[in-house]
Amino acid sequence: MRKTVLVPVLKTVCDAHIARDGSEQEATDTLTLGARAWDLCTEHAATFGRYLVDALGAGLPDADESEPESDSVIVAPEPEPVPVADPSPVAESERDAEDVSEEANEPDPVRSVMLAGEVPGYDWESARDAVRHAGYEVVGRADDSTVLLILGEGGERNGHKLRDASERGIPCMDVRKPGRFKSAVLSGEFVGGDPLPEPAKVDRSGMSDRERNRVIRAWARENGWPNLPVQGRVPMQVRHAYELAHQDAAEGKAVAA
């Protein structure tokens, strides 16, 4: 025996159709805003969806929508480091030896000497040439290269050179004794160690060295040295003769008085 049983079926209809004409159309979507919700069919879901897009914009995509794949970036592999060989100790020793040889090949600074006064047996130029031939430079004032002061006759009157030697601790070689300078030239060695004299006092006449030399030259031409040069050093014998003559004249005046 067949028996018919009626089972109630729950059907969700579109709220938009009911509001428009009272018809029933099965709902497929739900529109929820806050605490309110509306069941909509496919047609009205699309219609109200367009309204909201026009008013509010596209909005955020659904969480289950997959994002477009980004462009793949190809990363180039890093180059492997090139091994660097440790410096060879043999090469380093050779390089050090080259540096030492270059330093050894550098010329030593030329030493210099000051000459003060007249050297017995030598004129002004030949005495300086003899010093230069021994490997020294001849300077008028001391500097860091100066190693010796050669003191000749009358050298105590050269206050500048004596003060330079005293302030810098430069040794003195006294060649006023005849033959000592020549012995040093022959041996090629100029050695100091002699006492450094005090600078001579200023001439009582108050004349400068240049003025005094001019007076001595004028006197010498009238007293036996007519060919005395107008420049250069005044020979020591001329200077001594001038001093003796004027010393005798001064003593004669004192006796007459």
The CA-atom distances, in angstroms, between 211 and each of 76, 214, 217, 218 are: 92, 5, 10, 11
Residues 129, 183 within the same domain: yes
Question: In this structure, what CATH number is given to the domain that contains residue 150?
Answer: 3.40.50.10190
57 vs 161, higher pLDDT: 161
What percent of the residues of the chain are helix, what percent strand, and what percent coil, each to the nearest 5? 40, 10, 45
Q: Is the dihedral of CA 190, 164, 204, 228 positive or negative?
A: positive
Residue 47 sits in which domain range?
15-56
Asked whether residue 4 is domain-assigned, the answer is no
Average pLDDT, the chain: 78
Rounded to two decimals, the pTM is 0.42
Burial of 39 (0-12, 13-18, 19+ CB in 10 A): buried
Q: Which residue(s) pair with 150 in the sheet?
A: 115, 173
Whether 118 is covered by a domain: the verdict is yes
Predicted confidence (pLDDT) per residue in 108-140, tens digit = 788 999 999 889 989 888 999 999 998 999 998
- Higher local confidence (pLDDT), 5 or 188: 188
In a domain, 88, yes or no: no
Structural domains of the chain, count: 3
Label residue 257 by pLDDT band (50, 70, 90).
very low
Residue whose tokens read 């107008």: 230
pLDDT, greater one: 47 or 1: 47
For the cut 80, the answer to whether the pLDDT of residue 205 exceeds it is: no
Crossing angle of helices 180-187 and 124-133, in 10° steps, is 30
**Do 163 and 226 sit in the same domain of this protein?**
no
Higher local confidence (pLDDT), 163 or 23:
163
Place of tokens 């410096």: 87
163 and 222 both lie in a single domain? no
- In this structure, is residue 10 part of a structural domain? no
Is 177's pLDDT higher than 90? no
Query: Is residue 20 domain-resident?
Result: yes
Per-residue model confidence as pLDDT tens digits over 209-230: 777 888 898 889 888 888 888 8
In a domain, residue 197? The reply is: no
**DSSP state at residue 140:** S
- The answer, yes or no, to whether residue 251 has pLDDT greater than 80, is no
Same domain, 178 and 232: no
